[in-house]
Amino acid sequence: MTDNKPTVAFLGLGLMGVRQARRLIEAGWPLVLWNRSREKAEALAPLGARIAASAAEAAAEADIVITMLENGPIVEAVVFGQGVAEAMRPGTVLIDMSSIKPAEAQDHAARLAERGVSYLDAPVSGGTVGAEQGTLAIMVGGDEAVFTRVAAVFAPMGRATLVGPHGSGQLAKLANQIIVGVTIGAVAEALMLAARGGADPAKVREALRGGFAESRVLDLHGARMVERDFTTRGRSVTHLKDIDNALDAAGRLGLAAMPFTAATADLFRGLLANAGDLDHSGLLVELERRNPAN
């Protein structure tokens, strides 16, 4: 314990996780880190974090375990295949901040409950900028009592909202990804239309600001499109994974028609096949490919 703060194990230090872990360290939380590539964890050691040799070793020392991993199968492999579930003491809370399928989150919650371990699914939105600044939107599924008990650990990372039972956090994240993905596509189509007709896309974006078309996507992603800066801040491969998970969840819930979501998935698939894993604002590139100049 440090200043009455419980020990946190943070598993997964990718683009998002490394920034979240840094925020926790700076807020005084005692952290034990594990990452498949050890050098990413060691980069935070000078700030006071301890580096574990394995995910299970990190979990064994912790009161709260946070996972921030790429997808559901990797979460499954780390938690249930690398000894994390067995290493956690009864009463430990596992907070999975990865973006996975709601059904996977519900399954993980049930299996951990059998071991006396509480579970929250808590995916995030806000990208690397939000992770850096501690302004992430954190969507949480699980029991209210557990959420209340660990609410303080979310504070350095962003704003956490309990949205329902296990799996609900993942549903909220999928709703977020549908809105963001479809809106990126709409902004890209609109700016492509303007440019093809001879209007200045930068000026069109400026003119739209403050009207009903205003959004963070028009602001941030629209600027990237105008500047043609597709340096990865939000990976297209990750966004496609989330969109596919949304379609999977829709099918499980009996929703047969999700046309905007399906079209967005098709665009991301085309982008990845033809231009690679650009920033998700790179949907503009795929739309331009499908609409060659005469």
What residues are labeled active site? 173
Write the DSSP assignment of 32-63 as a string of letters.
EEE-SSHHHHHTTGGGTPEEPSSHHHHHHT-S
SS (H, E, C) 110-163: HHHHCCCCEEEECCEECHHHHHHHCCEEEEEECCHHHHHHHHHHHCCCEEEEEE
Phi, psi of 255 (to 5 degrees): -90, 110
Nearest CA to 233 among 125, 77, 92, 135? 125
Nearest CA to 278 among 245, 239, 220? 239
Q: How far apart are CA 121 and CA 102, in angstroms?
A: 9
Contact 94, 63 (CB under 8 A): no
Phi, psi of 12 (to 5 degrees): 110, 105
Q: Which element (helix H / strand E) includes 93?
A: strand 93-96
Q: How far is C-alpha 217 from the chain's CA centre?
A: 16
Q: In terms of C-beta density within 10 A (0-12 exposed, 13-18 middle, 19 or more buried), how is residue 198 classed? A: exposed
Rg of the chain (C-alpha set): 20
Contact 12, 98 (CB under 8 A): yes
